[in-house]
Chain A
Amino acid sequence: MKKVYAICTLLLLALSAFAGGSQEVQTVEPEGGKPVLNYVYSNVAFNPEEEPIKDVLEEVTGYEVKYNMLPAENPAMKLNLELASGSKYDIVRISTDWFANLVAQNALLPLNDLIDQYGPNIKAHINPEFFASTTVNGNIYGIPNGTANPYGVYWGIAFRQDILDEYGITLPNDLDSFTECLRQIKEKTGLIPLTTTEPLVDHIMSAFSLSTYAREENGRIVLRPQQEGMYEYLEYMNSLYEEGLIDTDLPINKKENVQEKFVSGQAAACLITYGSETPMEVMLPALRANFLDAELSYILPLKNSDGERQVSQLAGVTDMVVIPVSSEHAVDVIKYLDSTLIPENSKLLAIGEEGVHYTVDESGAKIPILPKFFEDRGNSWWLVPLNDSYEFSNYWAELRIRKNEDVFSTFKELSKSAEFGRIDPTAYMPLTEVRTEYEAKLKNMERDYYIQIICGAVPLSDYDAFVQRWLDAGGQELTDEINDWYSSNN
């Protein structure tokens, strides 16, 4: 027995000495051919090696790409670590919040000359306005992905019309009728009138003339906590909460809870989106299964005292492609990116071929051919590094939103609010160190505070003190910097 133990031990120790091979990111140079490019992107659940789009990309551009995925948690940190340790990545696809950090750390290559020389399609098909978000001190550090036509409205409030009909309650249009509607729901049905996870509700904020995070007031840019109407909004929400007109579980609700409450009929109204926070392709069928005559009605943003409506709209640069300084193939990267933006390529990569992947109906709208469209192009978004700014809704939004009828109908409903959309004046402001340092932290601090105030954990009288704390924690610096940019650009 002792011999066995001893031998085992020695074997294992010996094995561990051969601690497995290092698998750092390789740069492979095939003989006389184009180099293999290393592409890094955020976490996704599918295996890029198995996606048809991979082959299409290779065919169309002539470049082979190796895909490296970042982890789901702390991807920014992992990316930073890898870059700092000299990993040879060539193309990195990041979201805007990591950008300034990488720039500040001198981790990115300036691309001005490269684009001038090798990127004619890049210049032609990406909105020059967007480059403002990726330019620092005149150096372009990233190629932006965005859309020239704002996305539209992402969130809305849907009421169970069947419940409203049954009890003779009218769909609200302004603040008073909204309160009244919720009260009647509570009185007559005992259900939770409105359930949500977030303290800021666009359609209600509209009644207080609030919409975007930054807006102009008397020639200056003012950020949300200091905006006129913010205090009144919070006061109103607090009164709703105290009266039980908003789900008391608001602070602890997770999106599954909200979905469940709405679908099981515990709540009469809920915040809805066509995105995955409220997956309508699952929720609507479930709702109909539970309540045969269930019908949803969406409200428009509530009118303010002047009878106006407003909602904030998504716009601007969503993510971008950058090249780290450690890359040895910058020229090839630009050539690769450029070739994906050649119009026929761009279209092929995004939506495939007419007749194979989609058809065009009488109104000119494109309809996807299921399931081929999603098999071949469903995951294109992640693997195709750039999209044509001017064709976003054509290539990307239109077809994908039709993936499911329920999702599409939700999208159409929410789009009705789009005519009241306001775009944040800082949407195209370049990212700076100050913004990166403070923005996320401040927004978090705000959200926490709004929840505390709405739920009564903190008295309303504390609001001014909060604003002061907010200013001290970076709010003042941020506001000042934004105003500097705004006044010099307008």
Chain B
Amino acid sequence: MKYLRKAWPLYILMLPALLYTIVFKLLPLYGLGIAFKDYSLFNGRDAVDAIAASEFVGLDNFRKIFSEPEFLKALANTFIIGALKLVILFPLPILLALFINEIKQRHLKSCLQTICYLPHFFSWVVVAGIFFNILSTSGLVNSFLQMLGLDKINFLMNGKVFRWVLVVSDAWKETGFSAIVYIAAISSISTTLYEAAEIDGAGRFDRMLHVTLPQLTPSIVIMFILKTGKILEENYQQILVMYNPVVYETADVIQTYVYRMGIGQMDYTLGVTVGLFNSIISFALVLLANLLCKLITGRTAI
């Protein structure tokens, strides 16, 4: 009881968010039922009632999807591309934040930050257009290669190379913006720690290694876990806009596959079924990442 007398403000503070979560996050989960039914919008009195009124089919929807070999290929691609991006794109914003931190000229620093976070606001349609311009067979990069006497590379139509195009364009677009979290975290590191390190003879590099980086660990852990959870839903917008039939083999991911399958059909069931599958896997991944972080750094997000 003594606990409650002291702690009740905490529960009050949580109230709005809790209300929000129940209404906007938990209630709609009722719609997950669509994944187990033969759903049609007009089955019941209205679309919601239709969920209950539609026929229960158990795991049929899942079975239908999994039996398609193309889906399994898309699944594999999703993981491969997701892992590739995680490994390469995760450290970049951290590095950027660390580097920018070393820049002493205030205006330069501010200017660079602003420019770097710009591409985040371009839609993928625009970014795709930019990369097409540069990477097409008659584009800048290939002209450059030709000048050097090398063979042209078909960036956008070569399956293996294309995956790297996805990674690089994602890096270009998001690094700056993703660095903001780290920049904010760095700015709140107490300067006394730096002063102490300097007295001990640490140069800039050492200070970064022994003060900045360790202080960033909590942020890094959180971001890592969150990013892991997003692998599956990652950037299908990007792929949808940038891919073409020639690279389906290596670049078709779950979401793009679902998109193509659903054309012309208003088939909600497919979307919800795959979505549920994605959610379950993502959840597992997040828990896994959490565990990993705990083992390595002793801290967790949860």
Binding site for B on A (CB under 8 A): 13, 76-77, 80-81, 83-86, 97, 101, 105-107, 192, 248-249, 251-252, 254, 256-257, 261, 266, 436-437, 439-441, 444, 447-449, 451-452, 455, 457
A449 → chain B closest CB, angstroms: 7
Contact of A101 with B266 at beta-carbon distance under 8 Å, contacts A84-B47, A257-B132 already known: yes
Contact A437 B265, beta carbon cutoff 8 Å? yes
Evaluate whether A441 and B261 lie within 8 angstroms (CB atoms) in the complex, with A84-B47, A107-B42, A252-B136 already known: yes
A contact residues around B16 at 8 Å (CB): 13
Residues of A within 8 A of B50 (CB): 84
Q: Does B156 contact A (CB under 8 A)?
A: yes
Query: B138 contacts the other chain (Cβ, under 8 Å)?
Result: yes
CB pair B137 A249 closer than 8 Å: yes
A457 to B266, CA, bound (A): 31
CB of B123 within 8 Å of the partner chain: no
Known: A86-B46, A252-B132. A439 touches B264 (CB 8 A): yes
- Taking a contact as CB atoms under 8 Å apart, the answer to whether A444 and B41 are in contact is no
The residue in A77, A251, A256 that gathers the most chain B C-beta atoms within 10 A of its C-beta is A251
Specify the chain A residue showing the minimal Cβ separation from B43: A105
Who on chain A is nearest to B133 by CB? A257
Q: Report whether A441 and B263 are in contact in the complex, using a CB–CB cutoff of 8 Å.
A: yes
Q: For the complex, give the distance between the alpha carbons of A80 and B266 in Å.
A: 9
B129 within 8 A of A: yes
Q: Are A105 and B40 touching (Cβ within 8 A)?
A: yes
Check A77 against B47 for contact (C-beta < 8 Å).
Answer: no
Distance A441 CA – B270 CA, assembled complex (angstroms): 14
How far is it, in angstroms, between the C-alpha of A266 and the C-alpha of B42 when the chains are bound?
Answer: 53
Q: How far is the CA of A194 from the CA of B157 in the complex (A)?
A: 19
Determine if B41 and A84 form an interchain contact, defined as CB atoms under 8 angstroms apart.
Answer: yes
Min Cβ gap A41→B in Å is 18
Q: How far is the CB of A7 from chain B (nearest CB, A)?
A: 15
Q: Is the CB of B265 within 8 A of A441?
A: yes
Assess whether A251 is in contact with B132, with CB atoms less than 8 Å apart. Answer: no
| 5 more CB-based (< 8 A) A-B contacts, given A83-B41, A440-B263 | A80-B266, A85-B47, A105-B40, A248-B137, A252-B132
Q: How many residues on chain B are close to A (CB under 8 Å)?
A: 26
Q: State the CA gap A77–B263 with chains docked (Å).
A: 11
Q: Quick check: B42 and A84 within 8 Å, CB to CB?
A: yes
Q: Which residues of B contact A86 (CB under 8 A)?
A: 46
Residues from chain A with Cβ under 8 Å of B264 in the complex: 97, 436-437, 439-441, 444
Q: Which residues of A sit under 8 angstroms from B261, Cβ to Cβ? A: 441
Tell me the smallest distance from the CB of B108 to a CB of chain A, in Å. Answer: 34
| A81 and B249 alpha carbons, distance in the complex (Å) | 34
Q: Is B248 an interface residue (CB 8 A)?
A: yes
Q: Shortest distance in angstroms between A162's beta carbon and chain B's nearest beta carbon?
A: 22
Report how far A441 CA is from B40 CA in the complex, Å.
Answer: 19
Cβ contact of A257, chosen from B40, B136, B157, B246, cutoff 8 A: B136
With A and B bound together, what is the CA distance between A451 and B264 in angstroms?
Answer: 21
- Among B156-199, those with CB < 8 Å from A are 156-157
**Which residues of chain B have C-beta atoms less than 8 A from A101's C-beta?**
265-266
Q: A80-B266, A84-B50, A254-B129 are in contact. Are A448 and B245 (CB under 8 A)?
A: yes
Decide: B244 and A251 in contact? CB cutoff 8 A: yes
| A86 to B41 alpha-carbon distance, docked (Å) | 11
Chain B residues, Cβ within 8 Å of A85? 46-47
Closest to A82 in B: B47
Closest Cβ of chain A to B44, distance in Å, is 9
Question: Could you say which residues of chain B place their CB within 8 Å of the CB of A84?
Answer: 41-42, 46-47, 50
A192 contacts which chain B residues (CB < 8 A)?
138
- In the bound complex, do residue A452 and residue B266 qualify as a contact, i.e. CB atoms below 8 Å apart? no
Task: Output the nearest chain A residue to B42 by Cβ-Cβ distance.
Answer: A105
Residue of chain B at shortest CB distance from A452: B245
Q: Which 3 A-B pairs have the closest CB atoms?
A: A440-B264, A448-B245, A105-B42
A105, B41: Cβ atoms closer than 8 Å: yes
Collect the chain B residues with CB atoms within 8 Å of residue A444's CB. Answer: 260, 263-264
Q: B206 to chain A: closest CB distance in Å?
A: 39
Which of A101, A107, A256, A436 has most chain B Cβ within 10 Å? A101
Contact check, B138 vs A266: say whether CB atoms are below 8 A apart. Answer: yes
Give residues 110-166 of B contacting A (CB, 8 Å): 129, 132, 136-138, 154, 156-157
**Considering the complex, which residues of chain B in the window 208-261 have a beta carbon less than 8 Å from any beta carbon of chain A?**
244-246, 248-249, 260-261
| Complex contact A457–B245 (CB within 8 A) | yes
How many angstroms from the CA of A455 to the CA of B248 in the assembled complex?
A: 13
CA distance in complex: A77, B264 (Å): 10
Residue of B42, B46, B245, B265 touching A451 (CB-CB under 8 A): B245
Q: A436 to B47, alpha carbons, bound, how many Å?
A: 21
- Complex Cα distance, B152 from A431, in Å, reads 48
Does the CB pair A457–B246 fall under 8 Å? yes
Residues of A contacting B132 in the complex (Cβ-Cβ under 8 angstroms): 252, 254, 257
CB-CB < 8 A to A448: which residues of B?
A: 245, 248
Q: What would be 20 A-B contacts, judged by CB atoms less than 8 Å apart? A: A80-B41, A84-B42, A86-B46, A101-B265, A101-B266, A105-B41, A249-B137, A251-B244, A251-B245, A252-B132, A252-B136, A252-B156, A254-B132, A257-B132, A439-B264, A441-B261, A441-B265, A448-B245, A451-B246, A455-B157
Which of B136, B137, B246 interacts with A452 by CB under 8 Å? Answer: B246
Q: How far is the CA of A192 from the CA of B47 in the complex (A)?
A: 53
Q: If the complex has contacts A84-B50, A440-B263, are A455 and B246 also in contact, measured as CB distance less than 8 A? A: yes
Q: Tell me the bound Cα distance from A436 to B40 in angstroms.
A: 15
Expressed in whole angstroms, the minimum distance between the Cβ of B266 and any Cβ of chain A is 6
Q: How many Å from the CB of A260 to the closest CB on chain B?
A: 10
Complex contact B246–A251 (CB within 8 A):
yes
Least Cβ distance of B41 to chain A in Å? 4
By the criterion CB–CB under 8 Å, are A252 and B157 in contact?
yes
Complex interface: chain A residues within 8 A of B244 (CB): 251-252, 451
Quote the shortest CB–CB distance from A247 to chain B (angstroms). Answer: 9
**CB distance B42 to A106 under 8 Å?**
yes
Complex CA distance for A249 and B132, rounded to whole angstroms = 10
With CB as the reference atom, state the residue of chain B lying closest to A436: B264
Q: Are B265 and A81 in contact (CB under 8 A)?
A: no
For the complex, what is the distance from the CA of A441 to the CA of B129, rounded to whole Å? 26
Q: Are B266 and A76 in contact (CB under 8 A)?
A: yes
Residues of chain B with a CB closer than 8 A to A437's CB: 264-265
Report B-chain residues with C-beta under 8 Å of the C-beta of A248: 137, 154
- Residues from chain A with a CB closer than 8 A to the CB of B266 are 76-77, 80, 101
Q: What is the CB-to-nearest-CB distance from A486 to chain B, in angstroms, rounded to a whole number?
A: 22
Expressed in whole angstroms, the minimum distance between the Cβ of A18 and any Cβ of chain B is: 15
A residues near B260, Cβ cutoff 8 Å: 441, 444
